[in-house]
Amino acid sequence: MSLRIAIFDDNKNIRESISLLLSTVPQFEVVGSFSHVLDCVEDVKECKPDIILMDIEMPGMTGIEAVVKIKKEFPQIQVLMQTVFEDDDRVFDSICSGASGYILKNFLHTKLLDSIQELQYGGSPMSPSIARKVLNKMQTVATHIRPEEKIDYQLTPREKEVLSALVNGLSYKMIAAELTISYETVRSHVKKIYEKLHVASLTEVVAKAINNRIV
């Protein structure tokens, strides 16, 4: 069973040398080769690739934006980003866009064939330095979103209801109506919430509630 591959790269030489390289593997079939991604969705619809090799820097629209569009239409297609750059933003954005692999161009000649096969078998080929960046990012992101602030403020169920209503922008009156309790009761709950969260204004409550994912 052959594997259909499409190439997006604004450099003609690179497209051709990649094609040549791929042609050495019998089951690889280059079904499309494009110099820009302005019509990428149509192009992909036409040539129906299993795997796309996507350059990042291209005129008009970047490969990253293209991947977003393509993955939206054809989520099953695997995209391998290839670029000369390895700045954090590009790497991170590529991953978020839905790419399944990311290799630097100076690894192309030695690793491209392996990478494609790895993709095919459910792996995510990455150049070593990219893999390291990804892991580091994971670490910082994880310790950033997870940890600490998952303090338990010991809010009662009712207080949590009030709190989430507050975060949704309701006034005390509206909350009273919503929960069918009196305005004064809402006030009592809010006072308790203030105590428990150690804050002194509604805006602080809302900020703290959202940032600490209490609601």
Partner DNA sequence: TATCTGATACCCACATTAGGGGATATATAA
Partner DNA sequence: TTATATATCCCCTAATGTGGGTATCAGATA
What are the residues binding a copy of itself (CB under 8 A)?
Answer: 92, 95-96, 98-101, 118, 121-129, 131-132, 134-135, 137-139, 141-146, 166-171, 199-204, 206-207, 210-211
Whole-number Å distance between alpha carbons of 24 and 9? 20
The residue type found at 181 is I
Whole-number Å distance between alpha carbons of 107 and 81? 12
| Residue 38 interacting with DNA (CB under 7 A) | no
20 vs 138, beta carbon nearer a copy of itself: 138
Q: How far is the CB of 162 from a copy of itself (least distance, A)?
A: 12
Contact stretch for DNA (CB under 7 A) within 16-24, 61-69, 96-104, 180-188: 180-188
Residue of 21, 31, 181, 215 that binds DNA (CB under 7 A): 181
| Residue 152 interacting with DNA (CB under 7 A) | no
User: How big is the site for DNA, counted in residues (CB under 7 A)?
Assistant: 24
Q: How far is the CB of 195 from DNA (least distance, A)?
A: 9
| Residue 191 interacting with DNA (CB under 7 A) | yes
Q: Which helix (H) or strand (E) holds 126?
A: none
163: three-class secondary structure by DSSP: helix
**Quick one: which of 86, 46, 40 has its CA closest to 62?**
40
Whole-number Å distance between alpha carbons of 94 and 73? 17
The residue type found at 173 is K
Whole-number Å distance between alpha carbons of 80 and 119? 8
Interface of this chain with DNA, residues 129 to 148, rule: CB under 7 A: none
